């Protein structure tokens, strides 16, 4: 397989995180943003469907393998919302401070004491021939409010993973990379990439 992979994203936090996970494998990375590709409309109804859609669009446009991530925060008290619409909760300006407040307000309004949540990550690897392989990882935790920490991105400052008393926003990035939903999906991808070699 090609040693260059396109990260099918325009989210700089996500690009950095995926590039860091790919680095030990010796892959060169570029991104859909760096190549000037348009973001395809996410019309899927699952994380995997949206990841596959993005990966296939970049693989076809670049003529290279492309890796896409579709991830989100699923809150039990909100019936799994924001879920696949996690980025949309941040609005057109991608204001995740606004999105985190929306989640916290909705949980408080629900009247439940249950703050359980999980981050879900679907990773899809598409090849220029149109073939695609997908993996899904999860990590459980609880919603924390007010937000804490300035590391990570997205909803990290309001998510405390199970077994920890700090949020992803407070956690050292290397520690987060070792146990996050993305790391879980990534370990499955690594096994697949090694099998290809």
Q: 96-112: per-residue pLDDT in tens?
A: 999 999 999 999 898 88
Percent of residues, the chain, with pLDDT higher than 90? 76
pLDDT value of residue 11: 86
| 192 vs 171 pLDDT, higher one | 171
The CATH number for 161's domain is 3.90.950.10
pLDDT category of residue 118 using cuts at 50, 70 and 90:
very high
- Lowest-confidence region among 13-17, 29-33, 186-190: 13-17
Domain, as residue range, for 16: 4-196
What's the Cα-to-Cα distance from 18 to each of 13, 54, 70, rounded to whole Å? 9, 15, 12
Q: Is 156 a catalytic residue?
A: no
- Specify the residue for token string 């990260």: 7
18 pLDDT higher than 90: no
pLDDT value of residue 131: 96
User: pTM of the full predicted structure?
Assistant: 0.87
Q: Which of 70, 93, 129, 174 is catalytic?
A: 70
DSSP calls for 90-145 = GTTTT-HHHHHHHHHHHHHHHT-S--EEEEEEEEEEE-TTS-EEEEEEEEEEEE-S
Strand 4-7 relative to strand 66-75: parallel, antiparallel, unpaired? parallel
Number of domains present in the structure of the chain: 1
What is the three-class DSSP state of 173?
helix
Q: Do 53 and 122 meet the contact criterion of CB atoms below 8 Å apart?
A: no
196 pLDDT higher than 80: no
pLDDT value of residue 14: 83
pLDDT value of residue 23: 86
pLDDT category of residue 1 using cuts at 50, 70 and 90:
low
Mean pLDDT of 24-51: 93
pLDDT value of residue 82: 98
Q: 53-80: per-residue pLDDT in tens?
A: 999 999 999 999 999 999 999 999 999 9
197 pLDDT higher than 80: no
């Amino acid at each position: 397989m090609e040693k260059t992979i396109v990260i099918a994203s325009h989210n700089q936090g996500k690009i950095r995180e995926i590039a860091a996970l790919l680095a030990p494998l010796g892959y060169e990375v570029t991104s859909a943003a760096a190549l000037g590709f348009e973001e395809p409309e996410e019309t899927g109804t699952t994380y995997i469907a949206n990841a596959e859609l993005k990966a296939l669009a970049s693989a076809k446009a670049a003529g290279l393998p492309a890796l896409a991530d579709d991830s989100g925060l699923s809150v039990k008290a909100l019936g799994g919302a924001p879920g696949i619409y996690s980025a949309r909760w941040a609005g057109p300006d991608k204001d995740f401070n606004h999105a985190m407040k929306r989640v916290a307000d909705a949980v408080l309004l629900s009247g439940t004491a249950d703050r359980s949540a999980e981050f879900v990550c679907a990773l899809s690897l598409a090849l220029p021939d149109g073939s695609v392989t997908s993996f899904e990882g999860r990590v459980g935790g609880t919603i924390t409010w007010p937000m804490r920490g300035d590391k990570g991105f997205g909803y990290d400052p309001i998510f405390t993973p199970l077994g920890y008393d700090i949020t992803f926003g407070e956690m050292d990035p290397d520690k987060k990379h070792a146990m996050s939903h993305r790391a879980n999906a990534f370990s499955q991808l690594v096994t697949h990439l090694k099998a290809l070699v």
